[in-house]
Amino acid sequence: MKFYHGTNNIDEFLSRGIYSRATEEYPNASDCIYLAVDKEEAECYGKYVFEIEYNPNKDKTKNNYCDGCWQLRVYEPINLTEVRLISYNGKTKFPKGIIHQLSQTKGGKK
């Protein structure tokens, strides 16, 4: 399923442990990321909007998803290959370097 996350700080988003590439590296089970069901809702929380492919039914102990909810909390790592920047300040063209920064993080950060 597709969910959305809005943030004003791309560095914080990309550096949080919840986005580690390996579950063994997940540092803090009490940490979570909020995902919105609608892109418009995520836009309320920041100028960078990410689309995230996530299956909330895979392990229901790792999120609080329910049918009809407007957002959910996720308590497990989300592989960065499942994350895609789709909007910056409501536009789909991005400032120079943003996509490069995201691709560098996907390839080298755990």
Cα 70 from chain centroid? 15
What ranges make up the beta strands (E) of the chain? 2-7, 33-36, 48-53, 71-74, 83-88
Q: What is the largest CA-CA distance in the chain?
A: 39
Q: Where are the domains of the chain?
A: 2-101
One digit per residue, the tens of pLDDT, for the chain of length 110 reads 999 988 887 766 666 544 433 344 445 545 678 899 999 999 999 888 989 999 999 988 888 899 999 999 887 777 777 788 888 877 777 666 665 566 555 544 43
Q: Whole-model pTM above 0.75? A: no
Residue whose pair of structure tokens reads 């950060």 in the numeric block: 109
The residue count of the chain comes to 110
